[in-house]
Amino acid sequence: MAEVLLGFGANLGDPIAAIEAALRRLAAEGVRITARSHFYRTPAWGKADQPDFVNLCAAGSTTLSPRGLLDVIQSVEAALGRERRERWGPRVIDIDILTYGDHAFDEPGLTIPHPHLTERAFVLAPLLDIAPDRVIAGRRVRDWAAGVDRGGIERIG
């Protein structure tokens, strides 16, 4: 069993419903969700001319390999209507593998830990809810979060 941290985001349609549906589908596909953060409304990152996102992070466990987990995640995204049109563009659902145990992976299409998670307040704010003392890239989540601007991020549920 591998312990995983996952990040969820959506800004089209009903983002909360999409994230809830993604959590249910992942559970049905072999990802046991053990904790989840509050929902957060966050400004778009990377491409500002789009609606705000709703973000959530979840902790879980799985017997899936990293590549197997990615395959399941991409099938869940597709089932919920995700179309990959533009980088950092609007989306009905986005699911990222943030960590996979203490392992590091760098393969085509799969980098774990997620390469930008320590820079992104929209990931760190929800991670503080469920894993403040988790060490990622040599520092605790709470320490990474202390170093990023969380302006514009609002807990909504």
Catalytic residue among 96, 139, 140, 155: 96
Q: Is residue 96 annotated as a catalytic residue, yes or no?
A: yes
Catalytic residue among 25, 91, 120, 134: 91
Could you confirm whether domain 2-155 is CATH 3.40.50.261?
no
Question: 46-60, 64-78, 84-98 — which one is most confidently predicted on average?
Answer: 64-78
Q: Is the pLDDT of residue 17 over 80?
A: yes
Catalytic residue among 36, 41, 82, 120: 82
Q: Is the pLDDT of residue 41 over 90?
A: yes
Element (H, E) at 15: helix 15-28
Domain boundaries, given as residue ranges, for the chain: 2-155
Catalytic residue among 94, 134, 142, 149: 94
With b for 16 or more beta-carbon neighbours within 10 A and e for fewer, the 58-90 pattern comes to bbbebebebeebbebbeebbeebebeeeeeeeb
Q: Is residue 155 annotated as a catalytic residue, yes or no?
A: no
Q: Is residue 24 annotated as a catalytic residue, yes or no?
A: no
Instruction: Answer whether 98's CB lies under 8 Å from 91's CB.
Output: no
Q: What global pTM score does this model have?
A: 0.94
